[in-house]
Amino acid sequence: MLEWVKALHVISVIAWMAGMLYLPRLFVYHADAEIGSVQSETFKIMERRLFRAITTPAMIATWVFGLWMIHLYGLGLFAMGWIWVKLAFVIALSGFHGFLGRTLKAFAKDENKRDAKFYRAINEVPTLIMIVIVIMVIVKPF
Protein backbone atom coordinates (compact mmCIF):
# COMPACT_ATOMS: atom_id res chain seq x y z
CA MET A 1 0.00 0.00 0.00
CA LEU A 2 2.76 2.43 0.94
CA GLU A 3 4.42 2.08 -2.47
CA TRP A 4 1.17 3.02 -4.25
CA VAL A 5 0.65 6.05 -2.04
CA LYS A 6 4.26 7.14 -2.66
CA ALA A 7 3.82 6.71 -6.41
CA LEU A 8 0.60 8.76 -6.42
CA HIS A 9 2.29 11.38 -4.25
CA VAL A 10 5.23 11.71 -6.68
CA ILE A 11 2.87 11.90 -9.68
CA SER A 12 0.89 14.64 -7.91
CA VAL A 13 4.06 16.56 -7.05
CA ILE A 14 5.24 16.42 -10.67
CA ALA A 15 1.90 17.77 -11.92
CA TRP A 16 1.86 20.47 -9.22
CA MET A 17 5.40 21.56 -10.03
CA ALA A 18 4.63 21.68 -13.74
CA GLY A 19 1.88 24.19 -13.03
CA MET A 20 3.97 26.13 -10.51
CA LEU A 21 6.75 26.52 -13.06
CA TYR A 22 4.56 27.28 -16.08
CA LEU A 23 2.09 29.76 -14.54
CA PRO A 24 4.68 32.44 -13.67
CA ARG A 25 6.09 32.05 -17.20
CA LEU A 26 2.61 32.77 -18.59
CA PHE A 27 2.49 35.83 -16.31
CA VAL A 28 5.76 37.04 -17.85
CA TYR A 29 4.18 37.12 -21.30
CA HIS A 30 0.80 38.32 -20.03
CA ALA A 31 2.41 41.30 -18.28
CA ASP A 32 3.75 42.44 -21.67
CA ALA A 33 0.42 41.96 -23.47
CA GLU A 34 -1.78 44.99 -23.99
CA ILE A 35 -4.88 45.00 -21.77
CA GLY A 36 -7.95 43.94 -23.72
CA SER A 37 -5.94 42.48 -26.60
CA VAL A 38 -6.67 39.04 -28.02
CA GLN A 39 -3.33 37.91 -26.63
CA SER A 40 -4.20 39.13 -23.12
CA GLU A 41 -7.59 37.42 -23.21
CA THR A 42 -5.97 34.19 -24.43
CA PHE A 43 -3.50 34.30 -21.53
CA LYS A 44 -6.40 34.70 -19.10
CA ILE A 45 -7.99 31.50 -20.40
CA MET A 46 -4.69 29.58 -20.36
CA GLU A 47 -3.83 30.73 -16.84
CA ARG A 48 -7.28 29.95 -15.45
CA ARG A 49 -7.38 26.46 -16.99
CA LEU A 50 -3.85 25.62 -15.86
CA PHE A 51 -4.51 26.78 -12.31
CA ARG A 52 -7.96 25.28 -11.86
CA ALA A 53 -7.68 22.06 -13.86
CA ILE A 54 -4.10 21.01 -13.14
CA THR A 55 -2.18 23.00 -10.55
CA THR A 56 -4.74 23.22 -7.76
CA PRO A 57 -6.03 19.62 -8.02
CA ALA A 58 -2.40 18.42 -8.10
CA MET A 59 -1.60 20.45 -4.97
CA ILE A 60 -4.59 18.95 -3.18
CA ALA A 61 -3.59 15.45 -4.27
CA THR A 62 -0.02 16.10 -3.13
CA TRP A 63 -1.25 17.05 0.33
CA VAL A 64 -3.69 14.12 0.54
CA PHE A 65 -1.11 11.51 -0.46
CA GLY A 66 1.57 13.18 1.68
CA LEU A 67 -0.61 13.13 4.77
CA TRP A 68 -1.61 9.56 3.97
CA MET A 69 2.09 8.60 3.86
CA ILE A 70 2.64 10.27 7.23
CA HIS A 71 -0.22 8.18 8.59
CA LEU A 72 1.29 4.99 7.13
CA TYR A 73 4.81 5.77 8.41
CA GLY A 74 3.55 6.76 11.85
CA LEU A 75 4.29 9.66 14.13
CA GLY A 76 7.87 8.45 14.68
CA LEU A 77 8.61 10.20 11.41
CA PHE A 78 8.46 13.51 13.28
CA ALA A 79 11.48 12.56 15.38
CA MET A 80 13.64 13.22 12.31
CA GLY A 81 14.67 16.79 11.56
CA TRP A 82 14.45 16.57 7.78
CA ILE A 83 10.67 16.05 7.82
CA TRP A 84 10.18 19.38 9.58
CA VAL A 85 12.23 21.23 6.97
CA LYS A 86 10.37 19.42 4.19
CA LEU A 87 6.99 20.32 5.69
CA ALA A 88 8.03 23.96 6.14
CA PHE A 89 9.01 24.19 2.48
CA VAL A 90 5.82 22.41 1.35
CA ILE A 91 3.86 25.00 3.32
CA ALA A 92 5.94 27.74 1.66
CA LEU A 93 5.20 26.23 -1.76
CA SER A 94 1.51 26.15 -0.87
CA GLY A 95 1.72 29.82 0.09
CA PHE A 96 3.36 30.57 -3.24
CA HIS A 97 0.50 28.67 -4.88
CA GLY A 98 -1.91 31.04 -3.12
CA PHE A 99 0.10 34.03 -4.31
CA LEU A 100 -0.15 32.75 -7.90
CA GLY A 101 -3.91 32.36 -7.46
CA ARG A 102 -4.24 35.97 -6.29
CA THR A 103 -2.03 37.11 -9.18
CA LEU A 104 -4.21 35.19 -11.62
CA LYS A 105 -7.28 37.01 -10.27
CA ALA A 106 -5.52 40.37 -10.70
CA PHE A 107 -4.72 39.55 -14.33
CA ALA A 108 -8.31 38.36 -14.88
CA LYS A 109 -9.56 41.78 -13.69
CA ASP A 110 -6.87 43.62 -15.70
CA GLU A 111 -5.44 44.89 -12.39
CA ASN A 112 -1.90 43.53 -12.58
CA LYS A 113 0.60 46.05 -11.21
CA ARG A 114 3.83 44.10 -11.75
CA ASP A 115 6.07 43.94 -14.80
CA ALA A 116 7.43 40.94 -16.70
CA LYS A 117 10.80 41.26 -14.94
CA PHE A 118 9.14 40.56 -11.57
CA TYR A 119 7.50 37.39 -12.92
CA ARG A 120 10.80 36.23 -14.44
CA ALA A 121 12.39 36.53 -11.00
CA ILE A 122 9.65 34.75 -9.08
CA ASN A 123 9.61 31.96 -11.65
CA GLU A 124 12.69 30.63 -9.83
CA VAL A 125 10.99 30.41 -6.42
CA PRO A 126 9.27 27.02 -6.91
CA THR A 127 12.51 25.55 -8.28
CA LEU A 128 14.48 26.63 -5.22
CA ILE A 129 11.79 25.27 -2.89
CA MET A 130 11.69 22.00 -4.83
CA ILE A 131 15.47 21.59 -4.54
CA VAL A 132 15.32 21.86 -0.75
CA ILE A 133 12.40 19.42 -0.54
CA VAL A 134 14.10 16.83 -2.76
CA ILE A 135 17.34 17.06 -0.76
CA MET A 136 15.44 16.62 2.48
CA VAL A 137 13.57 13.55 1.21
CA ILE A 138 16.45 11.82 -0.60
CA VAL A 139 19.54 12.81 1.44
CA LYS A 140 17.83 13.22 4.84
CA PRO A 141 20.74 15.35 6.10
CA PHE A 142 19.49 15.37 9.70
Positions at the binding site for heme: 9, 86
Long-range contacts of the stretch 41-46 (C-beta < 8 A, 24+): 43/107, 44/107, 44/108
Binding residues: 9, 86
Give 102's contacts (C-beta < 8 A, 6+ positions apart): none
36 within 8 A of 110, measured Cβ to Cβ: yes
